[in-house]
Amino acid sequence: MRISLTVNGEERRLDVEPRRVLADALREDCRLTGTHLGCEHGVCGACTVLVDGEAVRSCLVFAVQCHGSSVQTVEGLAGPGGEPHPLQRAFSAEHALQCGFCTPGFLMLAAGALAADPGVADAPERVDALVGSNLCRCTGYEPIRRAILRAAREQAGAKSE
């Protein structure tokens, strides 16, 4: 099937089999390998991307379901000049990554959450629930939690200036 989607701001036309998942289309057809495949059952969250602004597990979504949609991957998170997104800066500052395998999924999950609810910095329990939805075997989650709260505070401060 021929589909058209916008990936990280760029129009893409792909020929995909109806059963091809979005993660495979992004990695293999678009050559965007930042979207990682872990469990391939929607449990770990490593494959999280934003589809029309909503965080989705790209291993569970067929590429054809995204026809006409806007998809953002971790490669599209940085600013137009390549400057790191507040989440990327916060993950670095808080040492919220070790092996890095889960990091793209956490970044995209958090980016979607912060865009939908900028006040998340005022509700650490919402960040706890968010962090608990993805799996990480290295960090113990606390640095990831701190990084998301730090980025939320930074973004809130930038909007109030």
Both 90 and 156 in a single domain?
yes
Both 92 and 149 in a single domain?
yes
Both 6 and 61 in a single domain?
yes
Measure the CA–CA gap between 161 and 158, rounded to whole angstroms: 5
Helix (DSSP H) and strand (DSSP E) numbers for the chain: 5, 5
Q: For residue 81, is it within any domain?
A: no
Q: For residue 152, is it within any domain?
A: yes
Helix, strand, or coil here: 5? strand
Note whether 34 and 76 are within 8 A (CB).
no
Residue 160, pLDDT score: 53
Helix, strand, or coil here: 9? coil
Host domain of residue 155: 86-160
Both 37 and 15 in a single domain?
yes
Q: In what order do the strands lie in the sheet with 54-57?
A: 10-15, 2-7, 70-72, 48-51, 54-57
Q: Which residues pair with 70 in a beta bridge?
A: 6
Q: What is the pLDDT along the chain (161 residues), one digit of tens a residue?
A: 999 999 999 999 999 999 999 999 999 999 999 999 999 999 999 999 999 999 999 999 999 999 999 999 999 999 888 999 999 999 999 999 889 899 999 999 999 999 998 888 778 888 988 898 999 988 889 999 999 999 998 887 765 55
Residue 113, pLDDT score: 93
Residue 29, pLDDT score: 97
Total number of domains in the chain: 2
Measure the CA–CA gap between 37 and 1, rounded to whole angstroms: 23
Both 141 and 122 in a single domain?
yes
Measure the CA–CA gap between 83 and 129, rounded to whole angstroms: 28
Measure the CA–CA gap between 131 and 134, rounded to whole angstroms: 6
Residue 134, pLDDT score: 92
CATH number at residue 62: 3.10.20.30
Residue 138, pLDDT score: 87
